[in-house]
């Protein structure tokens, strides 16, 4: 099992020293990867439904800090050596594809091949409107963006002529270090499963009960078979709370005692999960969350076959 950890790039304690210390410590502990989420701003009125709560609510404080995901990972790349650097997930419809590709390729080069591009189509129409980006057909737009990334990352003189995006032959250098470049696709719909099979190197679920993750993974594998792709080429990742105090919903958490955590990890393995992205929940701010990760990596992870 690989262990990822969500980085402290949002919330009350967002600063250089905190982020650097956290990233360096999880690397020292042997974590596989550090991850960031993606929001740009908070519209005052949000009617869109958040897909990962039972009632669809998502009400951040208006003064909640949230660092940009790609620049945060670029900073972390400069203060770490081995930690993989991922987005959970980058909302493709918020951005123009060629500029995004340049940022991601630059991150991969500056990190010496440690970037992972987790992608999604988003859920907050109000945020996209503030950014001046279209929300209609965002799934198809996102698919075109993934096609563009492939051409820019692999072709000597890439060009593209799609329904939503077009550009003539261009020079695009440097290419990412990694080839194929790792795309991890998020989502919970049949379209997301097809997108994973066609473009992804992993399916990246988030805060879903294991039964739902298992069903989604079965669907991804069927979509692979439908297009003649070997499903074994893909891996399965789940973002999940690390919750020693059992404050969060049990179905979305690794929680409680060491033995309970090991049972949850074994159940995750059984359905094919090979990467768990731990989102630590603990009292005491960032130091408290880092203590929770430290205890997990020093006590639980070795017993789980770390």
Residues 233-248: pLDDT tens digits?
A: 999 999 999 999 999 9
pLDDT digits (tens, 9 = 90+) for 81-134: 999 999 999 999 999 999 999 999 999 999 999 999 999 999 999 999 999 999
Q: What are the backbone angles phi and psi of residue 134, rounded to the nearest 5°?
A: -70, 145
**pLDDT higher than 80, residue 267:** yes
Show the tokens assigned to 56: 């669809």
pLDDT digits (tens, 9 = 90+) for 162-185: 999 999 999 999 999 999 999 999
CA gap 102, 153 in Å, rounded = 9
Using DSSP's 3-state secondary structure scheme, residue 263 falls into: helix
Is there a contact between 286 and 18 (Cβ–Cβ < 8 Å)? yes
Omega of the bond prior to 180 within 30 degrees of 0, cis?
A: yes
Query: How big is the chain, counted in residues?
Result: 306
Domain 17-234 in CATH: superfamily? Luciferase-like domain (3.20.20.30)
CA-based radius of gyration for the chain: 19
**pLDDT higher than 70, residue 295:** yes
At which residue do the structure tokens 């996102």 appear? 142
The DSSP letter of residue 300 is I
**pLDDT higher than 90, residue 214:** yes
Is there a contact between 254 and 243 (Cβ–Cβ < 8 Å)? yes
Contacts of 46 (CB under 8 A, 6+ apart): 58, 59, 124, 126
- Domain definitions of the chain by residue range: 17-234
Which of 16-30, 51-65, 236-250, 254-268 is predicted least confidently?
51-65
How large a percentage of the chain has pLDDT more than 70?
Answer: 99
**What average pLDDT does the chain have?**
96
* Cα 111 from chain centroid (whole Å): 17
For residue 150, the model assigns a pLDDT of 98
């Amino acid at each position: 099992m690989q262990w990822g950890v969500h980085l402290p790039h949002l919330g009350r304690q967002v600063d250089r020293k905190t982020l650097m210390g956290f990233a360096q410590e999880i690397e020292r502990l042997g974590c596989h990867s550090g991850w960031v989420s993606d929001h740009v701003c908070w519209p005052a009125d949000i009617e869109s439904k958040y897909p990962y709560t039972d009632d669809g609510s998502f009400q951040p404080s208006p003064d909640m800090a949230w660092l940009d995901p790609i620049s945060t990972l670029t900073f972390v790349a400069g203060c770490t050596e081995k930690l993989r650097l991922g987005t959970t997930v980058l909302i493709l419809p918020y951005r123009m594809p060629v500029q995004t590709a340049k940022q991601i390729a630059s991150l991969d080069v500056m990190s010496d091949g440690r970037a992972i591009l987790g992608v999604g189509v988003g859920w907050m129409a109000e945020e996209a409107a503030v950014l001046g980006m279209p929300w209609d057909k965002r799934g198809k737009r996102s698919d075109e963006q993934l096609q563009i990334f492939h051409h820019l990352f692999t072709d000597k003189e890439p060009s593209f002529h799609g329904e939503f995006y077009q550009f003539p032959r261009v020079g695009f250098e440097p290419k990412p270090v990694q080839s194929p470049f790792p795309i991890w696709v998020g989502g919970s719909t049949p379209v997301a499963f097809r997108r994973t099979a066609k473009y992804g190197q992993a399916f990246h679920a988030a805060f879903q009960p294991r039964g739902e993750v298992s069903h989604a993974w079965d669907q991804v594998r069927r979509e692979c078979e439908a297009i003649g792709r070997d499903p074994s080429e893909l891996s399965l990742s789940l973002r999940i709370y690390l919750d020693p105090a059992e404050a969060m919903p049990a179905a979305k958490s690794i929680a409680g005692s060491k033995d309970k955590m090991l049972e949850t990890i074994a159940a995750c393995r059984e359905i094919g999960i090979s990467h768990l992205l731990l989102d630590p929940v603990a009292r005491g701010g960032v130091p408290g969350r880092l203590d929770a990760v430290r205890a997990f990596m020093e006590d639980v992870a070795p017993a789980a076959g770390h």
